[in-house]
Structure 1
Amino acid sequence: MKVHFIAVGGSIMHNLAIALKLKGYEVSGSDDEIFEPSYSKLQEHGILPDEMGWHPERITEDLDAVILGMHARIDNPELLKAKALGVKVYSFPEYVYKQAHDKKRVVIAGSHGKTTVTSMIVHVLNENGKNPDYLIGAQVKGLPQSVKLTEEAEMIIIEGDEYLTSPMDRQPKFLKYHHHIAVITGIAWDHINVFPTYEEYVQQFQRLLDLTPSHGAIFYSKSDKELLKLMEKQKFSSSIKAVGYEAQPHEIQEGNTVLTGTTPPTPLKVFGNHNLENISAAYHVCKALGLSDQEFYQGISTFEGASLRMQLLAEKSGTKIFRDFAHAPSKVKATVAAVHGQFEGQKLLACLELHTFSSLNKAFIHEYKGSMNAAEEAIVYYSPHTVEHKRLEAINPEEISEAFDHPNLTVFTDANKLKEYLRNYELTGHHLLLMTSGSFEKTDLKTFAEELTAGL
């Protein structure tokens, strides 16, 4: 098979390209810009374009498929050439489905926790020798790549997000996988640039539920009020299994979380109520795929988390510095609460970078109200240049403070001033939580965290 990627440098696109190359396909790609880690990974696998930009001559009649990424525009010259030649054009999720149409398909959806639940399921299945195919939106320790596609695997575990399929198809990706089993972790409005009203956003999850086939299964969080409302209205056929889940019973023992509902109790390497709910979601899926309770809990006890999700950057003299990918309001609230609850009695300084389109939008920013209140002190950083680059209306620090409504909040618009503030902060007796989907202006956060703890 011979395939070409338009916008091959995307975070998930380059991983699909690598997965197909490992499967034996002839793979090429184009992009106008490619950043790390995509650049090095594509180079390692011989897929990095020899020249940046769009080159219609790369589109030839002998291509079996062109795979179109979201970064491309509908007037992309390579896309126009493919259409003119009649070469089949697929979106990313459509091509994944083509690869997996004869497998048992599990789709993990929801506004938060998708990556972690997907990672947990894949980890436990691998620990028990099931070796599924998978698609995960982050790197996971122990997995060589974040997309795996083989002929042999009987099932595929897919992180299914609600963002757009492609420039040509403005439907959510998770509708394209045609699940047998689905998880919905919760519904909290996001992607305001695509779903300008909350009602439109919720409707996408309704559409996902409607696609559940006869004898399929839906597992959903019972703690999410909006999701419960949606499930109460849903009319499933009698052959569809719909089961709500809650956080696993547990105790915190000397800063470590232990599941108490198992015999013997199961120590975990992750923590926080959201992860205890994520474990329940993974449990139901693994049971539906044939694992026993013992197989599941033995497997989950060794799960260390997905990349950038509650990552311990540095630790010294009782002070811990964490980094988390949290950026949307529900994710921020859950992450701050998790760290505060895990280390009760120790103060928490929570620092959030506003980086996404939604988080910097005046029409959306009030959704963050109270999201950091579990922390004794909070910091919000944003770059006015990023706001301008995204062509959004300018926002000032006073508006940020009013929106978050935290009694002890500091707002920074200069990353260097923020870092200097943290260098002078007395961290003894505190934990620091850094939350971003960016990097605080290209800061090496692990190195910075080690610098902050060096003098403790």
Structure 2
Amino acid sequence: MSNNTKQRLHFIGVCGKGMAPIAAALAREGWRVTGSDEGCYAPMSDYLVQAGLVISTPYNEHNIPADTDLVVVGKRVTEDNPELQWVMRNGFDYCSFPQFLNRHFLMNSRNAVVAGALGKTTTTAMLAWILEHAGRSPNYFVGGLADNLKSPARLRSGAAIAVLEGDEYASCFDDRQPKFMHYRPEGVLVTNVLEDHPDLYDGMESLLEVFIDLVKLLPESGCLVLSEDDEATPRLRREAGCRVISVGSDEMADERIEDVKLEKECSRFRFGGVEFKLGLFGRMNVKNAAMAAALADHFGVSYAESALAMAEFKGIANRQEKTLVGSHVLVSDKATHPSALRGFLQSLRQQFPGRRVVLVIQPRATGGQDWVYQKQLPGALAGADEVMLLPSYEHRPGAGRVWKGGNFSLERLHQELVAVGTACVVLMGGAGLSEALMAGLKPGDVVALSLLEQSRHLLGVVEQALGRSPDTRVAVDMTLI
């Protein structure tokens, strides 16, 4: 069947962060799409139903329509899944969603891939918005909800340009290639390369190898955009067979970020001789915007046009997301890596100078005591005035493996924060959190919240403790604070 034919598709694991936006985008474009998952809950279930999808739970071979042309298999679907077993037994065609995008949407378009440990979702959305604002109407796939874009994904036949968030994780159970290896890039932007997932890559060298593989996909006419101060940049530059642009404030950068002004209301900087104004905060977002502009220039959008788009860019859900709750500002962010948390806290100092910042965090414990989380979290969290530690969460090592140095120690983190003079308390869960907030907060405090997705229910606990129930949340008016 032709790759341009709109087939009947079934998505196994449709509620995944990548699978759901793609399934919904295809349904909006007239593809016949069904999907299944072990469980699908609001708001994801509502999002998929609004897109016209029929979602079945739990997994069962009868969920798959008999006239299905192709089955798309999610990353977390294992080989013993009953639907997948039925598909393989009956000879149905199946693939991962990166393979699907490759076959059906990326063969004839100019593709820009944004990768890296931190900032890739925001930077992908920035690049997609720049191209959209400039009238290029790109296809795109963003791993989050961007206020400027109508949906996380758009997949239209015949689009000339596609912007894709790419990651280094395996595509599906029988395709261990990183997802970004399927995306046929003409342009690649790497925000940074940081050790983050020891359950997948056991060190910097093995991680760097997959990014080198990505860079080697670029054609001679392509473009690679890198962060000047990232330690992986020299190696990636050497491996590239195309134009390379390093971006940063250092004199060694190919394209320099200059005259940075981190103001309470916005961030300003000059890049490529053009003045930029950005409604996001922190140096990390300044660099994200500049790197997006650099790659947009390769695709024919001038820095001046990028500056106009960035002046209207509104950010990503759950990234520095602010609400006004009683006399407090609550700022939610998905930051877990020490570098991301350091940047998050610095952005709060920019927005709320002189205010006390109380950080509520569920530390990510992956990697044990010899990994970056245990080692670097004390220095990162010291940027807060007070830290409230919730029980940690970790991706366990594979069968037969143990973390070097033993499991992550919340007690050690607490002791090291106290040793550097940061007020810190260890909490057992939601009840203790509510009591600690009501007892310890002062009028005007900024409450920063870093929770893993598995613990997002605690957002309601925090809001109630601050004096407002979840159903009466309002977006914060920055003129009031």
Do residues 351 (structure 1) and 360 (structure 2) align? Answer: yes
* Aligned residue in 2 for 1:188: 194
| Matched AA of 1:231 | L
| Matched AA of 1:399 | R
* Aligned residue in 2 for 1:407: 421
How far is the alpha carbon of 1:387 from its aligned partner? 8.2
Do residues 17 (structure 1) and 17 (structure 2) align? Answer: no
Q: 1:372 aligns with which of 371, 377, 381?
A: 381
How far is the alpha carbon of 1:156 from its aligned partner? 0.8
Distance 1:377 1:366 in 2: 18
Is contact 1:383–1:414 with CA below 8 Å preserved after alignment?
no
Q: Secondary structure at the match of 1:3?
A: strand
* Aligned residue in 2 for 1:91: 96
| Matched AA of 1:70 | K
**CA RMSD for the aligned pairs?**
3.0
Q: Deviations over 1:354-394 (max 9, x none)?
A: 35x727x445332433122222322322257x889999987
| Matched AA of 1:141 | D
Distance 1:452 1:424 in 2: 16
* Aligned residue in 2 for 1:70: 75
**TM-score, with structure 1 as normaliser:** 0.88
Distance 2:117 2:349 in 1: 22
Q: 1:120 aligns with which of 106, 114, 126?
A: 126
Is contact 2:25–2:153 with CA below 8 Å preserved after alignment?
yes
How far is the alpha carbon of 1:277 from its aligned partner? 0.4
Q: What runs of 5+ residues in structure 2 fail to find an aligned partner?
A: 1-6, 250-256, 474-480
Q: Secondary structure at the match of 2:467?
A: helix
Is contact 2:355–2:445 with CA below 8 Å preserved after alignment?
yes
Do residues 244 (structure 1) and 254 (structure 2) align? Answer: no
Distance 2:432 2:176 in 1: 40
How far is the alpha carbon of 1:296 from its aligned partner? 1.0
Which 10-residue stretch deviates more, 82-91 or 405-414?
405-414
Is contact 1:59–1:78 with CA below 8 Å preserved after alignment?
no
Runs of 4+ more than 6 Å apart: 386-394
Q: 1:114 to 1:395 in 2, by over 3 A?
A: closer
Q: 1:315 to 1:417 in 2, by over 3 A?
A: closer
* Aligned residue in 1 for 2:323: 313
Q: Secondary structure at the match of 2:114?
A: strand
* Aligned residue in 2 for 1:339: 348
Is contact 2:437–2:465 with CA below 8 Å preserved after alignment?
no
Distance 1:63 1:200 in 2: 38
Do residues 398 (structure 1) and 402 (structure 2) align? Answer: no
* Aligned residue in 1 for 2:285: 275
Q: How many residues align?
A: 446
Is contact 1:8–1:31 with CA below 8 Å preserved after alignment?
yes
How far is the alpha carbon of 1:316 from its aligned partner? 6.8
Q: What runs of 5+ residues in structure 1 fail to find an aligned partner?
A: none
| Matched AA of 2:390 | Y
Which 10-residue stretch deviates more, 36-45 or 437-446?
437-446
* Aligned residue in 1 for 2:213: 207
Distance 2:116 2:416 in 1: 24
Q: 1:236 to 1:46 in 2, by over 3 A?
A: closer
* Aligned residue in 1 for 2:239: 235
Q: 1:27 to 1:452 in 2, by over 3 A?
A: closer
How far is the alpha carbon of 1:429 from its aligned partner? 5.0
